[in-house]
C-alpha cells in the first residue's frame, strides 16, 4: 500500500465543539494514523496518513466538522514530508497543543 498523507489546518469555530474527538473517531474508523490538536491561535491542526481514499474521506469530514462547529477555512498540504515523530506510528491520537 502506498502511504498518502495530508497535513491540515482548520479555522473557524473548531475548538470547544468536540472537533478533535470527532476527528479522532473518524480517522480511526477509516484506519488512518496521525494526530489532531488545538493550536494556540484557535485553529485545529491534523495529520492524516493512510490509504488515499480514506485520507480524502477524513478531509471531507474536517471540511464540515462535527455538529456545533463552524468551519470557515481548511488549508491542506498533501503528502507533506514525514516527520521523525511519526515514523512507524499506526494510531491516530489527540495531541496537546504545542508550547510557544
Active site residues: 20, 38
Among 47, 26, 23, 19, which Cα is nearest to 35's? Answer: 47
> What does the alpha-carbon distance between residue 24 and residue 2 come to, in Å, rounded to a whole number?
22
Run of H or E including 60:
helix 52-64
Cell numbers describing residue 54: 480514506
**Backbone phi and psi for residue 88, each to the nearest 5 degrees, phi listed first:** 80, 0
Among 4, 5, 20, 16, which Cα is nearest to 62's? Answer: 20
Amino acid at each position: 500500500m502506498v502511504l498518502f498523507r495530508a497535513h491540515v489546518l482548520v479555522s473557524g469555530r473548531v475548538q470547544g465543539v468536540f472537533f478533535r474527538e470527532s476527528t479522532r473517531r473518524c480517522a480511526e474508523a477509516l484506519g488512518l494514523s496521525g494526530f489532531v490538536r488545538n493550536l494556540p491561535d484557535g485553529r485545529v491542526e491534523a495529520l492524516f496518513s493512510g490509504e488515499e481514499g480514506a485520507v480524502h474521506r477524513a478531509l471531507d469530514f474536517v471540511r464540515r466538522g462535527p455538529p456545533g462547529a463552524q468551519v470557515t477555512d481548511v488549508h491542506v498540504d498533501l503528502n507533506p514530508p514525514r516527520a521523525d515523530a511519526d515514523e512507524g506510528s499506526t494510531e491516530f491520537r489527540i495531541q496537546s497543543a504545542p508550547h510557544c
